[in-house]
Each structure stands twice: as structure tokens, then as C-alpha cells.
Amino acid sequence: MTSFAARMPKVELHLHIEGTLEPELMFELAARNGVTLPYASVEALRAAYDFGNLQDFLDLYYQGAAVLLKEQDFFDLAWAYFSRVHQDNVEHAELFFDPQTHTERGVAMGTVIEGLAAACTKAHEELGISSALILCFLRHLDGAAAVKTLTDAMPFREHFIGVGLDSAEVGNPPEGFRDAFELAGAEGLHRVAHAGEEGPPAYIWGALDALHVERVDHGVRCLEDEALVARLSRERIPLTVCPLSNVKLRVFDTLADHNLTALLEAGLCATVNSDDPAYFGGYMNDNFVQCQQALGLSDAQLRLLADNAIAASFASEARKAELRASLASVR
Ligand code: HPA
Ligand code: ZN
């Protein structure tokens, strides 16, 4: 019988859809679209997935995204993700997408969003997975570009529920994106941001105070700042932690060194997520099962992590009740 960690119903809140592009699909789309990849084979590409830090990964991630050109490509990408995580018992997922990675290459905003949204609809109809899209701004580009991106996305407002902030963290603090996040708030969008992955606790304070985020993506460096931990705990600000990502990008040396247990013990609403599973060696079950083994998590701790993710999600109260019932039904 499979482990409880594997069987458990799951909610994924930190997932970059471009980071689910498996080498096989990358080559297939490259061939379909006449794009030349700088790798001879799937194996050669996989062998390049050895990262010293976040920027090493981002260089390959943006290069890979160049095969995504048509609405069908975005649909195929997201449908592959939903089909894959259905096997991991994911029942609800909130997907990040990076429009600027595509619009900068001449792909229309509608092509990106409508392709992804169609896959979300099919996932609900055929797999029973509820989902939502979160538009992320690239922080290596500036705040004005973020405002323009959100403005350009407004004709497709019905298809996304929030905004986020990703890409190279160090040197690109949250405060530069105040205007874009204020505009998002005025439009009734949810707000989240990557902070405290490689960057210092000050970036988490900045995400809270300047961007008014409801969740912090990663946030693992919060433990360096006691006052910050007290605030995150008091305000019940969830952290979307990505254990395998953190090891691949050398935030922690090994999974056994990860601070996930310490985050839970500090009373924080920590969750487990896969980030960029095609690049980091695992989807949701790989993250949960490997954490369970490396950190010796109990079934009660696994259940707490799953329950935290339901609470932290932007699903409706009715959907959260369904997700909680599903979690309670699995032993
Ligand atoms: N961090 C920052 N930006 C990203 C990541 C990440 O882990 N994945 C995709 N874009
Ligand atoms: Zn991320």
C-alpha cells in the first residue's frame, strides 16, 4: 500500500506552469513550432539541470519557455501538469504564469491566458481538479513594466484571481512593485509574492508592508528574524514552501537540513509545494514523500501541512469544505 503522504489529497499553491515543461514536451513543441533548442537530446537537456543558485535555473527556464508560441502550446503545457498531478491526488491548484516571458517574445497576452484557462476548465470537467491562475510580474524587469503587464491583462480579468512576483530576488526588492500591486488590489485581485527564498527577511517585511501580500512564496528565511516570525504567526500569513526546489537551488544543502519542521513548530501556516517540478526533480508526491522520509514527518504533521494549504488557498469556503472533507476521509 502506498504511504499516507502519497495517498493524501493535496492542494498546490506554488507552481510555475512554465516550470512544468518536461524535456520531452519541450522537444515536441520545438519540433511543432520550428524552434531550435541548444541541446541534442532530452537526456542532454536533463543533464544541464544542475544549478548553483536561482539565476542558473532562471537562465534555463526562460530559454525553455521559448518553445511556447501558440494557444495550443499553453493548453498542452497546463493539461500535462493537471494530468500528472491527478496521480498525486492534487484536488486544487493555483498556478503562476509569467506573461512577460511570452509577451516579450511577441506572443499575445490572450494566447497565453486563454490557452491556460482552457486547460483549467478541462481539468475541472474531466479530473475534478479546481484551479485558478495567478499572474506573476518578473522582478528583474521594472515596476512600470509590471503596471503595463497588468493593464494589458485586464481584458482577460475573468481568467485570473491574483498577482504574484517572481524571478531573480536578490537586488530586486518588493518596494519597486508598489504601484502594480496597488492597482491589483483596486481590481479585487489577490496578492502574493516570492520573498525570503534567497533574499533577506527585509524582503518579506517589504512584501507585507509595501505590497500587502496575503501569502508569502517560499519565505523560509523568515526564521532569521524573530519579530517577523511573530507577525507572520499572528496574522496567519501562509508560507508556500518548496522543499525540493530549495535543495536544487542550494537554499539548503540537503532535505534533512530543511527548516520545514521548524516553521511548523514556530506556529506558522507552512505548506508544501513543487515550484518548478520539471526542473527540480519532483511533483507534489515527491515533495511530500521525500520530506516525510528526510525529516521524519508524522501523519499528523502531513495532515497539518495539507490542511494549512486548504486554509491558505483562495478557493471559496464551499470548496474548502469539500477539500477538508476529502482530507478527513483518507486515513
Ligand atoms: N523563484 C523565483 N522565480 C521563479 C521561481 C523561483 O523559485 N520559479 C520560477 N520563477
Ligand atoms: Zn516559485
Q: Which of 13, 53, 54 to mutate to test the pocket of ligand 1 (most atoms within 8 A of CB)?
A: 54
pLDDT band at 145 (very low <50, low <70, confident <90, very high): very high
* pLDDT of 238 strictly over 90: yes
User: What are the tens digits of pLDDT across the range 76-102?
Assistant: 999 999 999 999 999 999 999 999 999
Establish whether residue 101 lines the binding site of ligand 1, counting it when its CB lies within 6 angstroms of any ligand atom. Answer: no
Topology of domain 9-319, CATH:
TIM Barrel (3.20.20)
Domain ranges of the chain: 9-319
Predicted pLDDT of residue 1: 67
Query: Cα-Cα-Cα-Cα dihedral of 298, 301, 302, 304, to 10°?
Result: 160
Find the mean pLDDT for residues 104-122: 98
pLDDT band at 300 (very low <50, low <70, confident <90, very high): very high
22 is catalytic: no
User: What are the tens digits of pLDDT across the range 258-275?
Assistant: 999 999 999 999 999 999
Establish whether residue 198 lines the binding site of ligand 1, counting it when its CB lies within 6 angstroms of any ligand atom. Answer: no
User: What are the tens digits of pLDDT across the range 197-230?
Assistant: 999 999 999 999 999 999 999 999 999 999 999 9
pTM (global) more than 0.85: yes
Candidate list 12, 18, 94, 197, residue with the active-site label: 197
Residue appearing with cell numbers 504533521: 301
Q: Return the percentage of the chain with pLDDT > 90, whole number.
A: 99
How far, in Å, from the CA of 167 to the mean position of ligand 1? Answer: 5
Establish whether residue 167 lines the binding site of ligand 1, counting it when its CB lies within 6 angstroms of any ligand atom. Answer: yes
Establish whether residue 217 lines the binding site of ligand 1, counting it when its CB lies within 6 angstroms of any ligand atom. Answer: no
Establish whether residue 54 lines the binding site of ligand 1, counting it when its CB lies within 6 angstroms of any ligand atom. Answer: yes
pLDDT band at 131 (very low <50, low <70, confident <90, very high): very high
Q: Calculate the alpha carbon distances from 27 to 34, 42, 90, 97 in Å.
A: 10, 7, 27, 20
**For residues 195 and 197, what is the distance between their CA atoms, to the nearest angstrom?**
6
How far, in Å, from the CA of 237 to the mean position of ligand 1? Answer: 20
User: What are the tens digits of pLDDT across the range 8-22?
Assistant: 999 999 999 999 999
